[in-house]
């Protein structure tokens, strides 16, 4: 039974897999009581005095939201479970998950948001290039409760479900596992969306890409790009038509680094949903320097092989990338940072104009920046 906090000698506790409605156990020595959380109501008393009950009740009322949003499962546990049980016969995999506030029955509650990305191990070369081109939607998992067997509770997991978070465009063409180019509008017809697991047939949901991303290439263009990408199959493919478009630079971290290589990027981007119901990646970006006066040097590990000695770091940029069409915007969030303002002067067309602000619905989903490098 995890302890939430101890106050005035009372231990406020709850069972991780306790039954509904949500309630709190309060223990002090040999006496105890139990209160429901919404509303705060005494449902069992085992020896507490009336004055003690009033005190405990007031403490619970003041801390309702804190108690309701204690996380009892971890990101690692969520990812492990989803990669075991929610791959839809191996079509999908899960790389990252972020915690967010979601509206459940009119109350804000903590949940993990996990993008459902297409597996890199599914199908042949042609399958991955022309058919299995994108992931699909998200899974929403409760962060503050588990079931009676101690397993996570997925609040929204079906492909077309919108009961917790409404999504109008669930397809993920740009993500963390989209490392290879794909060709849309090809001779194979529609692309794979998701398997209809409850169907009596082996039918799959499909759709043709209609976004703005991609380049329409003739044979010479494809041949040059195929050589550049080290992909001779693309150069010689017979699956393309004059309407075909190739989508490249689809890994969101690499995409941001390609556009602006002079920033340091968080290696754990997270997915949010904007007010139109579209999926958007958020990447925290940092300016760094080793020349800041009167500052102590520190060494940070930027990847498995690279270390960086710095004495200045500032989270001055948010990068937003549309998961469907790859539209990438660099927003300066700290205009007091002299380094980012210098970059702004050097690359004025790269950064969003200061008059264009990040939408409030996206801002409200930002996570406190913790460097994952």
Determine the Cα–Cα distance for residues 166 and 153; give it in Å rounded to an integer: 19
Q: Which residues sit opposite 187 in a β-bridge?
A: none
End-to-end CA distance of the chain: give it in Å, rounded.
Answer: 35
Is residue 39 reached through a cis peptide bond, with omega within 30 degrees of 0 on the bond before it?
A: yes
- The model's confidence at residue 96, banded by pLDDT at 50, 70 and 90, is very high
Q: What is the CA radius of gyration of the chain?
A: 25
Tokens encoding 282: 């958020």
**Quick one: tokens of 280?**
């958007």
What confidence tens digit (pLDDT) does each residue in 159-216 have? 888 889 999 999 999 999 999 889 898 887 789 999 986 656 568 899 999 999 988 8
Average pLDDT of the residues in 259-272:
94
pLDDT digits (tens, 9 = 90+) for 106-159: 777 889 999 999 999 888 878 888 899 999 999 999 988 888 777 899 999 998
**Nearest Cα residue to 34 out of 17, 51, 15, 16:** 15
Pick the most confident of 27-41, 62-76, 216-230: 27-41
Q: Cβ neighbours of residue 207 under 8 Å, at least 6 residues apart?
A: 171, 190, 191, 193
Kindly report the pTM of this predicted structure. 0.82
CA distance 338 to 336: 6
pLDDT at residue 196 in the model: 83
Size of the chain, expressed as the number of residues it contains: 373
Output the pLDDT for position 341: 95
List CB contacts of 294: < 8 A, sequence separation 6 or more: none
On whether the CB atoms of residues 171 and 193 are closer than 8 A, the answer is yes
3-state secondary structure the chain: CCEEEEECCEEEECCCCCCCCCEEEEEECCEEEEEECCCCEEEEEEECCHHHHHHHHHHHHHCHHHHHCCCCCCHHHHHHHHHHHCCCCCCEECCCCEEEEEEECCEEEEEEEEECEECCCCCCHHHHHHHCCCEECEEEEEEEEECCCCCEEEEECCCCCCCCCCCCECEECCECCCCCCEEECECCECEEEEECCCCCCCCEEEECCCCCCCECCCHHHHHHHHHHCCCHHHHCCCCCCCCCEEECCCEHHHHHHHHCCCCEECCCCEEEECCCCEEEEEEEEEEEECCCCCCCCEEEECCCCCEEEECEEEEEEEEEEECCCCCEEEEECCCCCHHHHHHHHHCCCCECCCCCCCCHHHHCCCCCCCCCC
Answer yes or no: are the C-beta atoms of 138 and 271 closer than 8 Å. yes
What whole-number percentage of the chain has pLDDT above 90?
49
């Amino acid at each position: 039974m995890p302890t939430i906090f101890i106050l005035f000698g009372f231990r406020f506790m709850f069972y991780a897999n306790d039954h509904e409605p949500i309630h709190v156990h309060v223990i002090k020595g040999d006496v105890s009581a139990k209160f429901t959380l919404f509303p705060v109501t005494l449902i069992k008393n085992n020896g507490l005095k009336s004055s003690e009950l009033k005190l405990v009740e007031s403490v619970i009322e003041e801390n309702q939201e804190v108690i309701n949003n204690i996380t009892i499962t971890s990101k690692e546990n969520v990812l492990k479970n989803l990669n075991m049980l929610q791959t839809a016969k191996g079509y999908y995999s899960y790389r990252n998950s972020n915690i967010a506030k979601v509206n459940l029955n009119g109350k804000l509650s903590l949940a993990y948001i996990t993008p459902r990305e297409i597996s890199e191990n599914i199908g042949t070369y042609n399958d991955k290039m022309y058919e299995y081109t994108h992931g699909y939607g998200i899974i929403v998992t409760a962060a503050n409760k588990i079931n009676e067997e101690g397993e996570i509770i997925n609040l929204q997991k079906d492909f077309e479900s919108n009961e917790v978070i409404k999504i109008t465009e669930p397809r993920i063409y740009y993500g963390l596992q989209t490392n290879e180019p794909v060709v849309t509008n090809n001779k194979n017809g529609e692309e794979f969306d998701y398997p209809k697991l409850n169907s009596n047939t082996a039918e799959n949901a499909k759709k043709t890409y209609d976004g703005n991303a991609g380049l329409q290439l003739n044979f010479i263009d494809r041949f040059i790009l195929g050589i550049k990408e080290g992909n001779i199959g693309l150069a010689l493919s017979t699956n393309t038509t004059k309407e075909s478009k190739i989508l490249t630079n689809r890994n969101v971290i690499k995409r941001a680094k390609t556009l602006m290589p002079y920033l340091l990027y968080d290696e754990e981007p997270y997915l949010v949903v904007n007010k139109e119901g579209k999926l958007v990646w958020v990447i925290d970006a940092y300016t760094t320097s080793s020349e800041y006066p009167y500052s102590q040097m520190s060494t940070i590990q930027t990847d498995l092989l690279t270390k960086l000695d710095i004495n200045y770091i500032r989270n001055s940029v948010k990068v937003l990338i549309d998961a469907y069409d790859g539209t990438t915007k660099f927003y300066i969030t700290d205009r007091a940072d002299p380094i980012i303002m210098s970059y702004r002067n050097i690359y004025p067309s790269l950064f969003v104009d200061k008059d264009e602000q990040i939408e409030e619905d996206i801002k409200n989903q930002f996570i406190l920046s913790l460097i994952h490098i």
